[in-house]
Structure 1
Amino acid sequence: MTPDGLFEMLVEQTPACGPAREALLSGGTFGVWDGLVPADQLFHTYRTRLRIAQKRGRATLGLAETVGLLERMEDELLRIGWIDTTDRAWAFTLFLNATATTVLACASVALSLHEMD
């Protein structure tokens, strides 16, 4: 996957996709992990991350929308990707279809303290 290819796949799936595109344009690093993960497993993991972020007052982008999407996808197999901003303030998690040809959702929790969006 090329940066341009990933850039084209990041549209408006969730509110985090625009900032993830900007991170790529600004020289952020990215990748896609090998292997497939069932959406229902990801749902439980990211629902917990959302609750913890809310409890700690961490800013999030697209996380609530992504959790809802993962819940609806049930046991569909997905690939997980990532984009890190150059300033390391945000790390975006990408949820792609099994062939890594479509971004289904994008979410992020601030790595540094930001006000809640």
Structure 2
Amino acid sequence: MKKKLLSALLVAALAASVLAGCAKEETGSSESDKKEETRLTKVTLNEVAHSIFYAPMYVAVEEDYFKDEGIDLELVTGFGENILGRDFLYKVRKSISAPQTEQF
């Protein structure tokens, strides 16, 4: 009898904790208000060439994942030697390249 009672109490406690986790959270401001308050940081990212290897990044750009995190991402393609160009150095904050494209 004690085992059945204990089992029933444990099941009830587990169900209550699961259902409490599913409750809708009420906040003072909506998600759209938060997006308006967030200021986007402009980041220009260079890639050596358009490649399937960057597919996850392209999806993230199209789905606005970067904007959700406060980043206004601009992708540019600087083929080979353009990575080290003077104009490029002043415009791009981050570059993605493969080891074979690095020039020392």
TM-score range, shorter chain: under 0.3
Tell me the TM-score normalized by structure 2. 0.25
Which one has the largest radius of gyration?
Answer: 2
Q: Identify the structure with the greater helix proportion.
A: 2
Greater share of strand residues, 1 or 2? Answer: 1
TM-score by length of 1: 0.23
